[in-house]
A and B are shown apart, each in its own frame.
Chain A
Amino acid sequence: MLTLIGFEALAIAIPFMGSSSATSLFMSVLEYMVLAYSINLLTGFTGYVDFGHVVFFGIGAYATAVMVQSFHALGVNPYVFSIAGGLMASLFALILGAPILKIRGAYFAIATLGVSEAVSVIISNTPALGGSYGMPLAAYVKYDLTSAYLSMWILLLAAMAVTLYVANSKFGYGLRAIREDEDAAEVMGVNTRLYKVAAYVLSAFFAGVAGGIFGIVTAYIDTGGYFSVSKTVEMLVAMMLGGYGTLLGPLIGGFVLSLLEYTTVVYIANLHLLVFGVILILLVLFLPEGIVGVLRRRTRLVG
């Protein structure tokens, strides 16, 4: 716990110390954490395994890019537009939610994967969105890592605050009841359809804003990078690693996983996805409650 706080103090200070490779590492740590919180709000609380969660990251990035393109002349800080990216992702979740959340179990996972791939194909065939070439943003935004970094921090704190609220609210109890037994929850008075869609919309928002921020910071987006299945897998692993449905799980999982990825990318190049796959399977088999679950059993202190 203390090391984590120490790390965070260090992390906040990093961009002001001017080491850009360390900054980009910490950007990716923050990204993992935020995306883990995002998917946790749906999958962690309700048990609906969203294998297409990256679609919200992608939609958020594209919506933000369009806003930046259209309104850069206003002169406001472009990172503000990432909020529009989040709202667009939420709107998409709202429209998609009612039909897709009727599907349960593995079929839901497959359906969400299909939707995410379909949206990716549609965008890469839409000339207005750059088609398969993508959208360069360098002409509209200047390199501003400090703003990117602060935006991610605000987003992370917001995601934690929302998770804290959900975990202790009537809403959170309803979502956990759905995870345990949806039919029993409905018969006991939980409006399961409404609750599931609400969780979906909420979780989409955070992934959408994160996509927007990353779109601006990389100043170039394409469907390959912003709708990749491997990103969804990373979100799921980070969430499972920390402990699903908990307050601190995504923080710990996101942290551990991003460092793991950093080292595996450096030392074994593209093997990191294989490593993640293996970790995911091991987690499901041996550590379904994640790191927080183990700590909680040991100490009854965390999350």
Chain B
Amino acid sequence: MATGIILEAKDVVKRFGGLEALRGVSVEVGREEILGLVGPNGSGKTVFFNVVTGVYKPEGGRIIFKGRDITGLPPHAIARMGIGRTFQVPKPFSAMSVRDNVMIGALFGKHGAKNPYEAAKVVDEVLELTGLAGKADLQAGLLNVPEKRRLEMARALASRPELLLLDEVLAGLTPTEIDEALGMIRSFRKELGLAVIMVEHVMRAVMNISDRIVVFNAGRKIAEGSPSEVANDQAVIEAYLGAPITGGGRE
């Protein structure tokens, strides 16, 4: 790639009946960049992830990944090109073991191992990296919430994505767990060279980890820049109803 850009979403529009969830948003992500995506509840962050991963077809705009137009491709095809994601509400394969969950990631997605034996190495590596090795044989449905979120990340990582979309993976974690998770995400980038878009409500964390931040409000991008630029942006402060957004906590 000549440019350092891995994902380019241009003027994306997504409607649900009369509701316009995305009203022409454009977002760019650089290779190995960590981009924070913030905004009030219902501002369209999860819908944006769903459009990028092909779950929803946009009514307007284009999604360009690694220079290729992927708009309208089915989700499995997009996953195979190298976009991995987690779900805001974890969707583990509950009756399967933690290991088999991660195995699905390694077999499908970009890594695309041909069989479970070939996938085993990546699976072990990812279980180690995400601290789930000790729980590998446990049924995924029996994990607690923070572990389920880590499993979401592990599955996505095992597919060897070049771009990882994280949807509120820090929600409900204690401050210590948040610091652990942030360290983990930084190490993904460093060791695996991937770009990350991180949707997050925990402001302290996003400000801390992001290279750049994009702010959505009511389906529009209202601000974009470095963490300190965004924190002092008048439109952003108004969108959050004047709440001091550098202060941490939810919203």
Contact = CB atoms under 8 A, between A and B. Distances in A.
A184 B93 contact: yes
Nearest to A190: B108
Interface of B: 53-55, 74-76, 79-80, 85, 87, 91-96, 100, 103-105, 107-110, 112-116, 155-156, 159
Contacts of B55: 183, 187
B18 to A, nearest CB: 25
Interface residues of A, number: 19
A180 B109 contact: no
Contacts of A185: 93, 104, 108
A189 B92 CA distance: 15
Contacts of B103: 173
B151 to A, nearest CB: 11
A218 interface: no
A189 B109 contact: yes
A190 B107 CA distance: 9
A212 interface: no
Contact of B93 (A180, A186, A189): A180
Interface string A167-195: 01110011011001101111111111000
B227 to A, nearest CB: 29
A170 B91 contact: no
Contacts of B53: 187
Contacts of A176: 93, 96, 100
Interface in A177-234: 177, 180-181, 183-192
Contact of A177 (B74, B104, B110): B104
A191 B108 CA distance: 9
Given A170-B113, A173-B116, A189-B76, A184 B108 contact: no
**In the complex, the 4 A-B pairs of residues with the closest C-beta atoms, listed nearest first:** A189-B108, A180-B93, A189-B79, A184-B91
A170 B114 contact: yes
B80 A189 contact: yes
Contact of B155 (A168, A188, A192): A188
Contacts of A180: 92-96
B233 to A, nearest CB: 33
Given A176-B93, A180-B95, A186 B116 contact: no
Contacts of A191: 74, 76
A102 to B, nearest CB: 13
Contacts of B114: 170
A173 B159 CA distance: 14
B54 to A, nearest CB: 8
A43 to B, nearest CB: 15
Contacts of B95: 180
A185 to B, nearest CB: 7
A187 B51 CA distance: 12
Contacts of B115: 169-170
B87 A184 contact: yes
A186 B83 CA distance: 13
28 contacts: A168-B116, A169-B115, A170-B115, A174-B104, A176-B100, A177-B93, A180-B92, A181-B93, A183-B91, A184-B91, A185-B93, A185-B108, A186-B76, A187-B55, A187-B75, A187-B76, A188-B76, A188-B108, A188-B109, A188-B156, A188-B159, A189-B76, A189-B110, A189-B112, A190-B108, A191-B74, A191-B76, A192-B76
Contacts of A173: 100, 103-104, 107, 116
User: In the complex, which of the residues A176, A184, A188, A192 has the most CB atoms of chain B within 10 Å of its own CB atom?
Assistant: A188
Nearest to B113: A170
Nearest to B50: A187
Contacts of A189: 76, 79-80, 108-110, 112, 159
Given A180-B94, A183-B91, 19 more contacts: A173-B103, A173-B104, A174-B104, A174-B107, A174-B108, A176-B93, A177-B96, A177-B104, A184-B87, A184-B93, A185-B93, A185-B104, A188-B104, A188-B105, A189-B109, A189-B112, A189-B159, A190-B104, A191-B76
A170 B53 CA distance: 22
A239 B127 CA distance: 34
A50 B69 CA distance: 38
